[in-house]
Structure 1
């Protein structure tokens, strides 16, 4: 993404506040297949995610911290508070945004500065969070020592993971999918909660969800994307279609399908938008 306008960076306390707000706004929206205020699921409760947002905000926004330290600190605080992985993807996406906001730079510049310590910290964070369906990789497997370059590891994972791909393309999906969907929803006069739902549905329809692909395979991920495209085309979010979305939500949860990567990108989109507005 292009990043923030030139000028003084944002204060860590403000970055933490905007991060918490983005996490909570995502939870308030009806996002089919995920945990949200309308329905729990996947043996997780909304309260766990609220706590996770609160405890991970300080390390995520820590003054002067590198990206890897922000991710590892956020994961460690989350695991200590709720005992399960609720936000690894969120932290991986939001940490570069937070550092860019503090530095008043673009995300590309932050990613270009990643070093070996960032790689070690991110690998440690992934191992600690132990995300579902991670599997094994022939190169740069997280169970092995971290490589000198985090970007090399992310490039290796990019074909199968949208968050890894974001580290290589400068968070292109935010500019191509999430932020335009948010702007369009606002222009249509949707309330904030339904704007968030619009962002989530945009990701579901545009990008195969990496979490679904890892756990259920490429065919299921492709089918979910097609289902989301069909649903989205027939929905009027201005009419607050709770019943239709809850029906889709229930069907996904009955099959154990949790499009968690789409939810992670939704948080990152809200966070990036808030950071830009505050700059």
Structure 2
């Protein structure tokens, strides 16, 4: 009974970290993305919060496979949002949720958590691929396009990790499925800093500003490190590289403990991206997954 209670406690902790990561995703201004300070792309921050709350239960359902978690969470999201708000987040977080259930002792250790996620990725099979393909088709993300092999509009014939490997050269989320989550975990640790804590919620203006600054550092490191897959699909490589270069220019300003919210040029960049319908959606998804990993490493 103690073991069951401990597992339930760790699962609840992981679920709380997921919800907090999704909250920070829209609580913090991240240029091009939806936030409480700046709605956009015909969506609001409240829609993202509702989506996270709806998705949390199937995402952390005891005993569910990765594919079942993805498909159930996408269906729950559509029931409350009626659109795709979080497919990338769910694809990234489902293996983490499964890893925490199978290896609850991984919480608190970066090495054990990375190993647990890798074990989950290695075990992905055809059933996971079938469920994930149905979820992707249901969400119908923008700029999905077609693939010469294992296109999501057709039933897959290989396991989910193998299918993701085929898309790894053009999609960052697929690349993480292929290569593991180690690079994302390392980047989260480096960007957020040793003092960062996901839970409990930071209290007070100073603590809130430090949290905001840390999330913005993480976002800019991700956006400045690799062309955003969603931007590439919709607008092409040149636009994605221009956004990446702009993020690199902001990284030096994000190096301190103060957030960038007081800088009018930062808000203007956000508005300009939205005016051009440029949405670094993959980077936002990676930010949530990185925050979840960081929260699990530093419970």
Give CA-to-partner distance per residue, 1:57-110, whole Å, 9 cap, x none: 000100111111111110000011110000000001111111111111611000
Q: 1:182 aligns with which of 168, 192, 197?
A: 192
Give CA-to-partner distance per residue, 1:145-190, whole Å, 9 cap, x none: 1222111210111001000000011123313423311126849x96
1:248 matches 2:247: no
Query: Which residue number in structure 2 is paired with residue 3 of structure 1?
Result: none
The alpha carbon displacement at 1:28 in A equals 0.7
Larger relative contact order, structure 1 or 2 (CA cutoff 8 Å, min sep 6): 1
1:264 matches 2:285: yes
Q: Do the aligned partners of residues 16 and 236 (structure 1) sit closer, same or farther apart at CA in structure 2, a change above 3 Å counting?
A: closer
Residues 105-120 of structure 1 aligned to structure 2 (within 5 Å): 106-120=116-130
Q: TM-score, normalised by structure 1?
A: 0.91
Structure 1 unpaired stretches of 5+: 1-6
Query: Which residue number in structure 2 is paired with residue 70 of structure 1?
Result: 69
1:163 matches 2:173: yes
Give CA-to-partner distance per residue, 1:24-83, whole Å, 9 cap, x none: 111111101000121000100111101001000000100111111111110000011110
Query: Which residue number in structure 2 is paired with residue 89 of structure 1?
Result: 88
Distance 1:13 1:230 in 2: 39
Aligned CA RMSD, in angstroms, stands at 2.1
Query: Which residue number in structure 2 is paired with residue 125 of structure 1?
Result: 135
Q: TM-score, normalised by structure 2?
A: 0.86
Query: Which residue number in structure 2 is paired with residue 204 of structure 1?
Result: 223
Q: How many aligned residue pairs are there?
A: 272
User: Residues 212 and 259 of structure 2 are in contact (CA less than 8 Å); yes or no, is this contact kept in structure 1?
Assistant: no
Any idea what SS the aligned residue of 2:161 has? helix
Query: Which residue number in structure 2 is paired with residue 4 of structure 1?
Result: none
Query: Which residue number in structure 2 is paired with residue 143 of structure 1?
Result: 153
User: Residues 200 and 266 of structure 1 are in contact (CA less than 8 Å); yes or no, is this contact kept in structure 2?
Assistant: yes
User: Residues 35 and 46 of structure 1 are in contact (CA less than 8 Å); yes or no, is this contact kept in structure 2?
Assistant: yes
Structure 2 unpaired stretches of 5+: 1-5, 104-114, 198-207
Any idea what SS the aligned residue of 1:41 has? coil
